[in-house]
């Protein structure tokens, strides 16, 4: 794996030879932030050595490296999901590459279903912790000690200083932002109402199909993590209506002005 990471990194460095400080993973409907990156170099996943083959999922994705709010950032516009048939090693490979390129912090974003009944579609949630209910873990198998330790501590997976910083930024912008626990399922089915009730009893505030594998690998690699969910719908069974992916995308797009404002502010004043 180390060899593959180095080859991918070398390829990217040939196109952009300066170290990004912050990584961004942009979730469904939130990719627009990538378009705001200045002096941008954009690289399709399909050209990067050892990046997962995105023809599997049928959607294109790209890395965008450049300047945002005075910081050098690297953004993933589109991510790989477990439900598309990728292994968690493949899903998280870009995080390994971003680490090798030099990032110290990562902002991981997603669209999620609201489980906490005080939430409303369109709200933003700063992730305070997560529940891995995927039934898999990207670190299973032989551990490469040069990448991280065998048994990573997850007691503060989401950096307390970054959580505080994100809350402060939201307050300054007059944005109402929740804080809560994100549970990840494999998907691609949405949850049953019984599963949503179970997740609520477990302490989850929102549910989705991503983020947790990337955060596990980021922590293994010693990267500071901030997670932000856009509540795109209420989880199954809370409102008496079926869930539709089109609703998820529409609501996320409605919330994206707030999302953009918040993330840009977080980046412009991110603490060391």
Contact set with ligand HPA (CB under 6 A): 111-113, 190-191, 207-209, 232-233, 235, 243, 248
Told to judge if 81 belongs to the known catalytic residues of this protein, a careful annotator would answer: yes
Q: Report the interhelical angle of 88-101 vs 212-220 (nearest 10°).
A: 50
- Please count the other Cβ atoms lying within 10 Å of the Cβ belonging to residue 268: 12
Q: From CA 248, how far away is CA 245, in angstroms rounded?
A: 5
Return d(Cα 196, Cα 175) in angstroms, integer: 27
Q: At closest approach, how far in Å is the CB of 225 from ligand HPA?
A: 19
**Residues 36, 40, 83, 87: which is the catalytic one?**
83
Which member of 18, 120, 149, 245 is catalytic? Answer: 245
Question: 81 is written with which tokens?
Answer: 């999901």
- Nearest residue to ligand HPA on Cβ basis: 113
Q: Is 158 a catalytic residue?
A: no
For residue 179, the minimal CB distance to ligand HPA (Å) is 18
| 28 given a catalytic annotation | yes
Q: How near is the Cβ of 229 to ligand HPA at its closest, in Å?
A: 9
Catalytic residue among 75, 112, 184, 209: 209
Reply yes or no on whether 111 is catalytic: yes
CB count within 10 Å of CB 142 equals 8
User: Pick from 73, 98, 126: which is nearest to 217 by CA?
Assistant: 98
Q: Tokens 């922590």, residue?
A: 219
Residue closest to 130 by CA, chosen among 202, 233, 231, 236? 202
Please identify which of the residues 8, 76, 98, 111 carries the catalytic annotation.
111
Residue 34 or 208 with smaller CB distance to ligand HPA: 208
Which listed residue (210, 214, 229, 255) is catalytic?
Answer: 210
Identify whether 209 is a catalytic site residue.
yes
Helix (H, G, I), strand (E, B) or coil at 129: strand
Give the dihedral sign, CA 119/76/38/163. Answer: positive
Question: Has 42 been annotated as catalytic?
Answer: no
Q: Dig out the tokens for 117 from the structure.
A: 């009944």
Cis? peptide before 188, omega within 30° of 0? yes
* Distance from C-alpha of 58 to C-alpha of 158, rounded to nearest angstrom: 31
Residue 173 CB, nearest approach to ligand HPA (Å): 24
CB of 86 to ligand HPA, least distance (A): 17
Query: Catalytic residue numbers?
Result: 28, 59, 81, 83-84, 111, 209-210, 233, 245
């Amino acid at each position: 794996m180390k060899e593959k990471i180095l080859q991918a990194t070398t390829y990217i460095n040939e196109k952009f030879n300066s170290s990004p400080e912050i990584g961004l993973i942009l979730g469904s409907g939130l990719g627009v932030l990538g378009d705001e990156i200045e002096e941008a170099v954009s690289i399709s996943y399909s050209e990067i050595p050892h990046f997962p083959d995105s023809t599997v999922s049928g959607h294109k994705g790209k890395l965008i490296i450049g300047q945002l709010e005075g910081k050098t950032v690297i953004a993933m516009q589109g991510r790989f999901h477990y439900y598309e048939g990728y292994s968690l090693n493949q899903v998280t490979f870009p995080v390994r590459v971003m680490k090798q390129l030099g990032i110290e912090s990562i902002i991981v974003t997603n669209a999620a279903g609201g489980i906490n009944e005080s939430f409303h579609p369109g709200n933003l949630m700063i992730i305070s912790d997560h529940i891995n209910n995927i039934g898999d873990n990207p670190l299973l198998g032989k551990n490469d000690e040069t990448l991280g330790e065998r048994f990573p501590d997850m007691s503060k997976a989401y950096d307390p200083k970054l959580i505080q910083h994100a809350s402060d930024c939201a307050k300054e912008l007059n944005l109402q932002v929740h804080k809560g626990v994100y549970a990840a399922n494999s998907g691609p089915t949405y949850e049953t109402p019984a599963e949503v009730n179970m997740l609520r009893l477990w302490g989850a505030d929102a549910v989705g199909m991503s983020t947790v594998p990337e955060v596990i690998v980021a922590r293994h690699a010693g990267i500071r993590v901030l997670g932000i969910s856009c509540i795109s719908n209420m989880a199954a069974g809370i409102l008496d209506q079926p869930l539709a992916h089109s609703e998820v995308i529409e609501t996320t797009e409605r919330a994206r002005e707030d999302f953009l404002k918040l993330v840009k502010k977080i980046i412009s004043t991110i603490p060391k």
